Amino acid sequence: MYLYRAVDKAGDTLDFMLSERRNGPAATSFITKALSSNGIPEKIVIGKSGANGAGIREVNRILKRFGCPVKVQTVRSKFLNNMIEQEHRFIKRRVRHVSEFRSFASTSATSGGIEVANKI
C-alpha cells in the first residue's frame, strides 16, 4: 500500500490518499484530487518517484487542455521533501507493531483515522 500526502509549507496535511499501486494513474488521481480541493499552487516539491513526476505532467496537460494559463512547477529535492517524510512518523508509530495489514479496507481505515486525527 502507498500513502500519498499533500502538505503545505507549515507542515499541515492538505490531503491524503491510499493506493494499492505506485504508478502514474494513481499519482495523477491524487494530484487531481488535491488540486481540486486546495487550488493550484505555484510549485510542488516531490522526491525521486517517477510516478509523481508523470502525474504532475499529466495534470499540466489537463490544465493546458482546459485553457488554464498556470503551469504547476515541479521541484525535485530529497531535502525539501523531509517535512512529508517526518509526518509519516505518526503513522509508523501506531503501525510499527503490526507488520502488515490483511486488507486494503483495514489499511485505509487505520491510515485515514490517523491522518484525520493529525489534521484536527
Task: Show me where the domains of the chain are located.
Answer: 2-119
- Evaluate if residue 46 carries a pLDDT over 80: yes
- Evaluate if residue 88 carries a pLDDT over 60: no
- By CB neighbour count within 10 A (0-12 exposed, 13-18 middle, 19+ buried), where does 8 fall? exposed
Classify 94 as helix, strand or coil: helix
- The whole-number pLDDT of residue 61 equals 92
Record the pTM. Answer: 0.67
| Nearest alpha carbon to residue 59 among 38, 40, 81, 80 | 40
- The whole-number pLDDT of residue 5 equals 80
Q: Could you give the CA distance from residue 9 to residue 83 in angstroms, rounded to a whole number?
A: 9
Residues 6+ apart with CB under 8 A from 51: 22, 23, 24, 26, 27
* pLDDT tier for residue 50 given thresholds of 50, 70 and 90: confident
User: What is the CATH architecture assignment of 2-119?
Assistant: 2-Layer Sandwich (3.30)
